[in-house]
Structure 1
């Protein structure tokens, strides 16, 4: 039996990689379907959809044309946009189910990406480059990889002649990134909720983590997420000529305030999901970090374990609310004492805490009643509470075991705030899917060298195709 099990695992790996040659350490040659997928992924990455210089609507039209060419009818494709924002288009594609009992499922993704200044990149951020086993470019990881997989999955279902029991809905929207002008998921929820209505949604927020050397050590499915809030901090002074220095000026006050924000650590706040994650993922790691994870799950007051877990930049934000200064401006002329300064603090708030509590904690840490602090930006509704749905979790567990041998699927809280929050008023629970994996550095998402491992993308493509198919055939 043991030999049979090993052979079964080897066969599953070979199927996931696309050819038995992968088992011999050779790079498998892409087949026609994979080449088509690569072309789709390239088209997505190389279409600039950043808020500063891009056009989501241009990519939407390209995606719609792919569906039309595959035989999808016009009544299966809905293009939409807020007319006040001509460049922020989105698309919803429907594949009808044949069961009156099975409720729809929703595949959700955002097409917009973080801004990218070519001056700061080693290469053109909007050209897909494959090098040293990774894809490089803006959006390669966040989140055009998953977008491409969603589109590819429906195109493959069409080619396979699949007759799903559930209706499958795909919604690709614009406006998730902070600097965007409008949010497409929010717009759909308000104006076209019937296009989103589903028993559950699948989107970003889950995924795997490597040990930094290519070995996948965990895969998680997100069953809850952080809430994002942004706060402006403003300071003021009388001004005057800089030749007569005033060291208590607006910028000096801002420096004092931000040093206190940097030094402040929110209290540890674990919940049932995060404690379970650390307990299970810690055992799977089997190293000193894993042992500390197990210890803090058992006893959150274990300060030594907390110090070890906090030293990892991926695990630290699972322990508590985090806030970081991301924008700053001040002064108006080089020879004048600055009269005003302003900084923006970006916070990710753990479930169970509120934006108001976070603001109050920061304001208390600053300790200066003359500092003005206010919430800014879009305020998303609170996500639905985490849901442990065995009809969602069990198929994912089985496929993770098949595609990622030796890796356990662990429910987790997403470290990011996603568009799934806008599904909460519609009563739609959302799950961040496993599959795609990253290194502990987060693959430099939103940075100047964003990348994604080629194997991560190709394996996740097969994994998520099979996972969506299982859900689609449920009744």
Structure 2
């Protein structure tokens, strides 16, 4: 009866109109809200915050719920004391089912109070939304993971497979201590699992609260930076010469800007375009179906490339993001350089992408070098029916009539480090966002109240389904 009641409340919240007053919360939902608030209001940015401080609080909640000390592992390195993480293990009863892993990052993108309408490190509920840094990326999911681990322990739930949870730091900042990478390299035994659930999936609304699509995140691009650079002896600016480092860099950047990597499809993107295309009217839908059948269809590609998201999903992309050059107002530049940020389609190496940039620039005076950190190649997980089947049934239950499709992220997550050691990573559906991105990584980040509570119920039911094993 209790389980049925919670499911009913969750479903009613999912359908609640945006901006309307939500129904009264159950005691368990009140506890979840308090946990979510604590997470958002604990600054975990790289500049002014501490993931370790939030991990301390999470450890306290887990111990209060009854977890033993040997079921909780804390980790950090001396050079990064504020970027620590936590792993907790909830034992299963089966001797044959392998563990599953719930992965999440605690850190958030830096937020400046003077730029925000509201205090970014206060959870503010307003007009059907929660506002605050991390409300969307990704503390709603983090809170759902911790909340269910607490409830599982308190209720005495006995899963078939062991459930592990790893909450780490460093996902949002290049060059920071990345806890997921550290675990994959130093404690693979601790996070060993048949599969992992992570961020990246979820739904999209029409911008007015109606959910129109649900996705399972299956695979992602690899993020890699390159530096292109030109050098020159320089000299006095009063006697310019054609051989100018800044001009040579500008010419190289123009070639990078106009270069298109070849179109590629994976099992995930092929299924995405085929299924979404069938449900989308007009020439865009027809083009999606056509490209899923023939990636060489130039007419279909021309239509899809009008949408920047589809353009990115179909190929590796590289773009200039930082620029520097020269050393004095009255001197010819001796050096000019730029950072090129690439999102590499699964199956391609960082070296092959580097070679493609060199060929596109076509100038031996321009060097193209890899910028650390160098991430592992993207390895897309399989479209496993054991993962998709339960999720599809729950999408039909929570979001009747809404299409459910696999999708490849054009961004990057910590899942790539787990996939590098043989753990397939999926971003489950459940919560949802608006077409504008809900301010993630930007100003006034928000998440709809209905998405937070409904997503929590959805994920709990999904995790229990996976943990109980095949029926």
TM-score w.r.t. structure 1 length?
A: 0.90
Distance change (3 Å), C-alpha of 1:138 and 1:313: farther
Deviation string, structure 1 residues 78-100 (Cα, Å, up to 9, x no partner): 11112232111010011111222
Contact 2:215 2:429 in 1 (8 A): yes
> 1:241/1:441 Cα in 2 relative to 1: closer, same or farther (>3 Å)?
farther
Change over 3 Å in CA distance of 1:412–1:248 after alignment to 2? same
Q: What residue in structure 1 maps to residue 42 of structure 2?
A: 47
- Specify the alignment match of 2:170 in structure 1: 175
Deviation digits for residues 218-256 of structure 1 (CA, Å, limit 9, x no counterpart): 212123221121111112233345565567533333333
Q: 1:207 aligned to 202, 211, 221, which one? A: 202
Does 1:221 find its partner at 2:216?
A: yes
Please name the residue that 1:78 is paired with.
73
Aligned length: 465
Q: Is the 8 A contact 2:13 2:450 kept in 1?
A: no
Aligned to 1:188: 183
User: More displaced, 412-421 or 320-329?
Assistant: 412-421
Corresponding residue for residue 277 of structure 1: 272
Q: Equivalents in 2 of 1:197, 1:223: separation in Å?
A: 19
Q: Quick check: 1:460 aligned with 2:455?
A: yes
Task: Choose the corresponding residue for 2:347, options 335, 352, 355.
Answer: 352
CA distance in 1, matches of 2:158, 2:78: 35
In 2, distance between residues paired with 1:258 and 1:159? Answer: 58
- In structure 2, the partner of 1:162 is 157
SS in 2 for 1:208: strand
Distance 1:274 1:95 in 2: 34
Matched, 1:410 2:405: yes
Contact preservation (8 Å) 1:82, 1:187? no
Which residue in the other structure is 1:394 paired with?
A: 389
| Gap change, CA 1:359 and 1:19, over 3 Å in 2 | closer
Q: What residue number does 2:430 align with?
A: 435
Following the alignment from structure 2 to structure 1, what is the Cα–Cα distance between the partners of residues 200 and 156? 30
Partner residue in 2 for 1:292 = 287
Matched, 1:450 2:450: no
Per-residue Cα deviation, 1:251-273 (whole angstroms, up to 9, x for no partner): 33333322222222212111332
In structure 2, distance between residues paired with 1:140 and 1:172: 16
* Distance of 2:344 and 2:27 partners within structure 1: 44
Q: Residue in 2 aligned with 1:151?
A: 146
What pairs with 1:347-386 in structure 2 (closer than 5 Å)?
A: 347-386=342-381
Give the deviation of 1:444 after TM superposition.
3.6
Q: 1:250 to 1:135 in 2, by over 3 A?
A: farther
Structure 2 CA distance for aligned equivalents of residues 399 and 60 of structure 1: 31
Distance verdict in 2 for CA 1:252–1:395, change over 3 Å: same
CA contact (8 A) 1:103 1:199 kept: yes
- Cα separation, 1, equivalents of 2:134 and 2:21: 28
- 2:466 aligned partner: 471
Q: Does 1:34 align with 2:29?
A: yes
Paired residue for 1:8? none
Distance 1:57 1:161 in 2: 28
My pick for the range that moved more, 113-122 or 289-298, is 113-122
- Partners of 2:212 and 2:456 lie apart in 1 by 19
Structure 1 residue 463 displacement after superposition: 0.6
Cα contact 2:14–2:454 (8 A) shared by 1 = no
CA contact (8 A) 1:22 1:28 kept: no
Q: 1:12 to 1:67 in 2, by over 3 A?
A: closer
- Extract unaligned runs of 5+ from structure 2: 1-5
Match of 2:96 in 1: 101
Unaligned runs of 5+ in 1: 1-10
The one-character-per-residue Cα deviations of 1:315-349 (angstroms, maximum 9, x if unpaired) are: 22111111122222233444544332222111111
Q: Give the CA deviation at 1:64.
A: 0.9
Shift in alpha-carbon separation, 1:117–1:471, aligned structure 2, 3 A: same
8 A contact 2:136–2:438 mirrored in 1: yes
Query: Shift of residue 21 of structure 1?
Result: 7.3
Whether the 8 Å CA contact 2:21–2:128 is kept in 1: the answer is no
Alignment of 1:323-362 (within 5 A): 323-362=318-357
Partner of 2:60: 65
Aligned match of 2:3: none
